[in-house]
Amino acid sequence: MNDKDDKIVQILKQNILRHGALSLADYMQICLTHPIHGYYIKNEPIGTKGDFTTSPEISQMFGELIGLWIVQVWMDHQKPKKFSLVELGPGKGTLMADILRATRMITDFHNSLELILIEISPSLKSIQKRALKGFPAQWKTEIKALPNQPTIIIANEFFDALPINQFQRKSNTWMEVMVNLKGLSGADSNEFCFQLMNPSKEILIDFENEVPEEGCMIEISKTMQDIICCLSKHIHQNSGAALIIDYGKEGNVGNTLQAVRKHRYSNPLSSPGQQDLTSFVDFKAIRTHAEESGLIVSHLTNQGDFLKILGIEQRSKILSKGLSGNDLVLHQTALERLINKNLMGDLFKVLGIRSTKSPPLIGLET
Ligand code: SAH
């Protein structure tokens, strides 16, 4: 273990020794976003040299088509003279750079937009600044302070990075999955283990099946719920829409926690702060919270179908014309990765949210 690993291990350990076992959400939060040693704070996680690759990093077509989707939504809102274009967790800034490049000919759109990026990581923020050089942008760490004007929000692989609590059904009651120090005397240990304990905090356990089976596991993200409520309230008051793209499913049953390091799955309890921790996004919970805030939510579609409706195959043909040899092969492989049902095409889902007054969302409701 090097010094960097050790610091976050010691922070987790001191927390446990002082306050008892950590909920999985608290463990994830420290590992991912601890203000000094958190995974997103100090690493460059995205890309071939990092730990995982995201759709905008695979092909420029992803951002180009989302750019067109955004322009259509802006037009459907009667082309407001001033509106916020917001991205949650912009990573390396590639998606937003492609969006802005693909739409630069639409001058009214560019003149009207106020670009706001919600990013917790100072190191990723400086990478985003470089990627978006020349575009006036504001950075915020929280969604709360958005200006009151029509707002279009996009989020690709943002919600999967938020902390979750896990609960398991044992002898007719819900127990919580906690993270504790391994071994009888924790003080000597630098290793962690999962342990089932009584729930750490009052969390409303939302389980819709009649009788949960013994051993059944569910996941709840309080942070995700809070963000969706805040975002929905904002769109309800100001009009607008949100586009959420992520891996996930409709519901909260199952253990979907995963750790990824250098493009391989890893043990979520090993190398804290050195690897990405994610879970499948519960799109049903997003739907419930957005609808409760008075918004319209589209049906859940998959990334492959969504990109095809927006015209990715036609765009790919146009780009292919200028390519040959290895470049052409790479371009075609990238298209496959994004839309093939056995690759990212089906695993990744797309959900649209909009204010009641806006027209149906292109590619999701039409
Ligand atoms: N959307 C990008 C990156 C996805 S990785 C892409 O598609 O390539 C997740 C991103 O969310 C990173 O930029 C990470 O720093 C940011 N993030 C994670 N947790 C966050 C939080 N609580 N608040 C704001 N940003 C967060």
Closest residue (by CA) to atom 6 of ligand 1? 91
> What was the pLDDT predicted at 203?
76
Are residues 47 and 129 located together in one domain of the fold?
A: yes
Tell me the mean pLDDT in the region 327-336. 97
Are residues 28 and 127 located together in one domain of the fold?
A: no
What percent of the chain is modeled with pLDDT above 70? Answer: 98
Question: Ligand 1 centroid vs 122 CA: distance in angstroms?
Answer: 11
Are residues 63 and 180 located together in one domain of the fold?
A: no
Are residues 69 and 208 located together in one domain of the fold?
A: no
Q: Residue 130 class from Cβ within 10 Å (0-12 exposed, 13-18 middle, 19+ buried)?
A: exposed
Question: Ligand 1 centroid vs 222 CA: distance in angstroms?
Answer: 17
Tell me the mean pLDDT in the region 178-190. 82
Confidence of residue 210 (pLDDT cuts 50, 70, 90): confident
Are residues 153 and 234 located together in one domain of the fold?
A: yes
Q: Is 56 in the pocket of ligand 1 (CB under 6 A)?
A: yes
Q: Is 157 in the pocket of ligand 1 (CB under 6 A)?
A: yes
Structural domain including 338 reads: 42-163+220-354
Residue 101 domain flag: yes
Residue 360 domain flag: no
Are residues 81 and 183 located together in one domain of the fold?
A: no
Residue 359 domain flag: no
Q: Which residues contact 328 (CB under 8 A, 6 or more apart)?
A: 320
Confidence of residue 25 (pLDDT cuts 50, 70, 90): very high
What is the length of the chain? 366
- pTM of structure: 0.96
Are residues 55 and 193 located together in one domain of the fold?
A: no
Residue 258 domain flag: yes
Tell me the mean pLDDT in the region 133-159. 95
Number of domains, the chain: 2
> What was the pLDDT predicted at 200?
81
Structure token pair of residue 213: 């089976």
Question: Ligand 1 centroid vs 126 CA: distance in angstroms?
Answer: 13
> What was the pLDDT predicted at 186?
59
Residue 298 domain flag: yes
- Look at residue 305 and give its three-state secondary structure: helix
Are residues 204 and 259 located together in one domain of the fold?
A: no
Residue 211 domain flag: yes
Are residues 10 and 83 located together in one domain of the fold?
A: no
> What was the pLDDT predicted at 190?
87
Question: Ligand 1 centroid vs 90 CA: distance in angstroms?
Answer: 6
Q: Is 256 in the pocket of ligand 1 (CB under 6 A)?
A: no
pLDDT at position 325 over 50 = yes
Residue 365 domain flag: no
Cross-strand bridge partners of residue 260 = 265, 276
Confidence of residue 196 (pLDDT cuts 50, 70, 90): very high
Residue 336 domain flag: yes
Return the exposure string of 42-66: e unless at least 16 CB atoms fall within 10 Å of the residue's CB, then b: bbebbeeebbbebbbbbbbbbbbbb
Structure letter (DSSP) for residue 274: S
Are residues 155 and 288 located together in one domain of the fold?
A: yes
Spatial distance between the Cα atoms of 266 and 255, rounded to a whole number of angstroms:
15
pLDDT at position 366 over 90 = no
Question: Ligand 1 centroid vs 83 CA: distance in angstroms?
Answer: 22
Q: Is 69 in the pocket of ligand 1 (CB under 6 A)?
A: no
Are residues 204 and 226 located together in one domain of the fold?
A: no
Confidence of residue 315 (pLDDT cuts 50, 70, 90): very high
Confidence of residue 117 (pLDDT cuts 50, 70, 90): very high
Ligand 1 atom at shortest distance from the alpha carbon of 155: 1
Q: Which of 26, 30, 40 to mutate to test the pocket of ligand 1 (most atoms within 8 A of CB)?
A: 40
For the chain, what is the mean pLDDT?
94
> What was the pLDDT predicted at 2?
52
Tell me the mean pLDDT in the region 236-242. 97
CATH assignment of the domain containing 316: 3.40.50.12710
Question: Ligand 1 centroid vs 183 CA: distance in angstroms?
Answer: 34
Are residues 79 and 25 located together in one domain of the fold?
A: no
> What was the pLDDT predicted at 3?
47
